[in-house]
Every structure is written in C-alpha cells, then in structure tokens.
Amino acid sequence: MVEQKIRFDDGAAYEQMMGIWSRLAGEIFLDWLAPPPGLRWIDAGCGNGAFTQLLVERCAPAEVQGIDPSEGQLAFARSRSTSRVTEFRQGDVMALPFPADRFDAAAMALVIIFIPDPARGISEMVRVVRPGGTVATYMWDMLGGGFPVDPVLAELRAMGFVPSRPPRMEASRMEALHGLWTEAGLEAVETREITVQRTFADCDDFWRTQLMFPSVAPLVAAMAPGDVETLKGRVRAALPAGAGGSITYGARAHAIKGRRPK
C-alpha cells in the first residue's frame, strides 16, 4: 500500500474535513480528562485551532500555547481565536520551544500518526509538563475502522482501487499508545475509546467533505465518471439514510492520559 506524506496547509478546508470531527471527539476527551480551571496548557499539533478553541470554551485555562509546523493551519487558528489566553507559534512536538516544567497539561489531538518519531514527541510533552502534570492524546482508530473516511475507503478497496494511507497508522493502536505512555515514564495511565457521530446535511455536503481527504481526492479525480457514480452509490447504500437526505455515521478514536511522576 502507498504511504502518503500529508501536508495540512489550508485551515479553512481542514475545518470542514476534520475540524468538526475533531471537536466532536474533543468534547468527550476533555470531559474524560476533567481538568480543573486555571491550568497552563500546551496544545501540540494544534493545527487550525479546532481543539484549542474547545479547550478555551470548556476548561477555563489560564493559558494555551498552540504549536504546529503548518503556517496555513496556524493562520486560521489565529483568525478564529478571540481569546487572550491563546498563543500560536510554529513548532515541532519533537523539539518543543519551551523550557522544562513550563505547563500543567499537554494535549495532542489527532496528531500522533504524523510525528516522524512519536516516542520523541511524547518525551518532549513530558519534559515541558511539571511533575504531577497531565500528558494526553486522542487519535482515530486507523487500523480498526474508526477513521471518519473509512466508509469511502472501504468501497474504493472493494472496487479494486488502492487508496494511499497516512503514515505511522500503527501508532493509533491502543497497545501502541499504552506502550508510548508507559515507556515515557508516565504513571496513572488510563485509556478509553471515544465514539462520535457526525451528520451531513445531504449527499452534496457529504461528498464535498470526502473529496477533501488526501486519501480520496486524487483517486476520485483520476476515476472514470461511471466509476465515480458507482462509488457514490455503493457508499450511499452502505450508510444509513437519514431524514431529508441527511447522512449520519460514526467514527471512533483511542484516547490515553497519564501523569508525570512527582
């Protein structure tokens, strides 16, 4: 299977494609973390600020530092944020631009499979969190059918097409996450599954969104028109029909949290 290098350059497109999904999962994730107000957070791989915004809305933080390598994503994050506690800067989770013990909590939403060396990224998150602080993440269950674009990918494969796959999908397995957290020396490690449902207004809304995914767009662009119609019909038949032509279906993520020892 072809492994694809994925770039996130367009914060507005990302919002429609994944930001909405991210916030759906992020709400459950933050309820599970149940942090007290007034914490200093780092949001590693903050992207277009979808999860950062949720942190501000739900957790009353004292501060959130968002870091991401993509200026396109960061520009959207800055434009959407009206909060004075958030700051966004370019950076890499494998070399965080902060001193040790700087934060109370480190979160990373839907990023771990994109980090070239996930263990290094986690050790950096542990370094910048104070003793007793929290390090947590969630990622779609990429190998277990939890990725939001899986209904389309499954039908593409059934038709004989070979979609590219995001890098390092193995890091999304619960066992892999647990290994990373324990090997980083974190304690009180807990995991959970997060299931969410998203509703698309109609077929057009659904397809517009699917065609933004890097694993779908180039394949469909190169397909014969008849194949595209077949694909749409197969996906439509596989998903439950909702009222007024709406489409509702689910995705599933793995979440993990741990505490830096005191």
Stretch that binds ligand SAM, among 39-47, 181-189, 207-215, 237-245 (CB under 6 A): 39-47
User: Rounded to an integer, what is the distance from CA 236 to the centroid of its chain?
Assistant: 25
Candidate ranges 31-39, 105-113, 148-156, 195-203; the one touching ligand SAM (CB under 6 A): 105-113
Taking CB under 6 A as the rule, does residue 19 contact ligand SAM?
Answer: yes
Does residue number 114 form part of the binding site for ligand SAM (CB under 6 A)? yes
Q: Does residue 166 touch ligand SAM according to CB under 6 A? A: no
3-state class (DSSP) for residue 250: strand
Of 22 and 156, nearer to ligand SAM (C-beta) is 22
Residue type, 55: L
CB of 11 to ligand SAM, least distance (A): 9
Minimum distance of ligand SAM from residue 160's CB (angstroms)? 28
Residues numbered 85 to 104 that lie near ligand SAM (CB under 6 A) are 92-94
In this structure, what token pair is assigned to residue 256?
A: 């993990």
43 pairs with which residues across the strands?
Answer: 66, 107
Check binding of 77 to ligand SAM (CB under 6 A): no
Pick from 157, 192, 143: nearest CA to 31: 192
Q: Would you call 221 helix, strand, or coil by DSSP?
A: helix
CA neighbours closer than 13 Å in the CB half-sphere of residue 59: 32
The tokens for 165 are 């796959």
Whether the CB-CB separation of 260 and 132 falls below 8 Å is answered with yes
Q: Among the residues of 60-117, which ranges form H helices? A: 71-80
Site string for ligand SAM, 185-224 (x = CB under 6 A): ----------------------------------------
Count of residues touching ligand SAM (by CB under 6 A) = 22
List the structure tokens of 104: 């109370």
Strands (E), the chain: 40-44, 63-68, 86-90, 103-109, 129-140, 187-200, 247-259
User: Residue 137 Cβ, how far from ligand SAM at the closest point, in Å?
Assistant: 10
| 110 near ligand SAM (CB under 6 A) | yes
With CB under 6 A as the contact rule, the residue among 42, 64, 111, 180 that binds ligand SAM is: 111
Binding site for ligand SAM (CB under 6 A): 8, 18-19, 22, 44-47, 50-51, 68-70, 73, 92-94, 109-111, 114-115
